[in-house]
Amino acid sequence: MKNKEKMENQPQSKTECAIAAYNSLWKEQNEIYSAAARSFGLSDSAMWILYFLRLNNGTCQQKELASSLSQPKQTTNSAVKQLERGGYVTLKCGSDRRCRLVELTPKGSGLAVSTSDHVIAAERETWGDFTEEEQDSLIELLSKYNKRLKTRMEEKNEK
């Protein structure tokens, strides 16, 4: 308890303040997307699946969805199964039984138009508020941060 109190009472460095601000903004952004999903009556995973299917002309490999969502295959599979039970997507097996194609049904396309399309439009409008240079800088810095953070996390896990 005393060590925790000491940490909390120490003045924060500029770097620590920047990390806290970044993490707060990241959580805020995630909450914006979660709130949108909730307002549509969808789980986060279901909304993101509809989102990526719309960006991919209504069809995508299930493993690509899991990768795009940066979530375990099991989580993606559960959300896809729920959408399938609702009649929003169909699953088709390719020549490789492990490779399943997820496709929007007409009912799913209608749901995507009234949900994920609003998210896509809001994102496009928001990105339009930035100059090309600002857009490039944001992508470049976040990409650089993620690559370095991943490397450092992997190094820490190896020890």
What's domain 12-128's architecture? Orthogonal Bundle (1.10)
The better pLDDT of the pair 70, 112 is held by 112
pLDDT confidence of residue 145? 96
More confident residue, 30 or 94: 30
Tell whether pTM > 0.75: yes
Quote the CA–CA distance of 45 and 38 in Å, as a whole number.
11
Identify which of 90, 111, 112 has the alpha carbon closest to the alpha carbon of residue 101: 90
pLDDT at position 99, please?
Answer: 67
Q: Please tell me the predicted confidence (pLDDT) of residue 100.
A: 86
Q: Where are the domains of the chain?
A: 12-128
Local confidence band at 115 (pLDDT 50, 70, 90 cut-offs): very high
Q: What is the pLDDT of residue 12?
A: 82
Residue 84 clears pLDDT 60, i.e. is over it? yes
Q: What value does the mean pLDDT take over residues 44-65? A: 95
Q: According to the model, what pLDDT value does residue 2 have?
A: 52
